[in-house]
Amino acid sequence: MRRWQTVKRLAQMSECHLADVGQAQVLRNMNNVLREQMLEPYMGNTQIGGLRDFTGLPLEVLRRLIAGNFVELDDWNGCPGVAKAFLPFMERHPEFLAHGYAVSWELDDARVTIEGIEKTGSLTMGEVIDFANTFAGADEMQLTDDYARCWYD
């Protein structure tokens, strides 16, 4: 009973009516609200072609997005992917923050893609070495003693 009340409340929040939609649509709208609530503090203000960028995503939020099956985990376009590179690195160095984009729920492919990570502030020698080794194949990399950023296209 309590779970159904939660579904109804989330469905109402996403402006759908349970009488008008099937169970799959209710779950999709519930997931829509959940994903948007997790990402909102990190989202940019513009949406282009159904994509909205985000920055400053911490490890804990990334883990929750992964648990909700919102994040594309596999490798793509030469990027080793979240499961092989970003998540393990961020678990070793939780001060680093992820950036990427979320595909609009209006499109069929409503995924969250991590394109890179970054950290502003003093870096240890271990962080510099690990970052350089882990993300050597990135399309863009910036690495100084107080800033690290990688990006995969």
Report domain extents, the chain.
Answer: 2-151
pLDDT in tens, the chain (153 residues): 343 343 344 444 444 333 444 444 444 455 788 899 999 999 998 889 999 999 999 999 999 999 988 999 999 888 999 999 999 999 999 999 999 999 988 877 778 999 999 999 999 999 999 999 999 999 999 999 999 999 999
d(CA 43, CA 68): 18
Structure-token pair, residue 69: 């099956």
Structure-token pair, residue 88: 């393990």
| pTM of the shown model | 0.79
d(CA 64, CA 48): 25
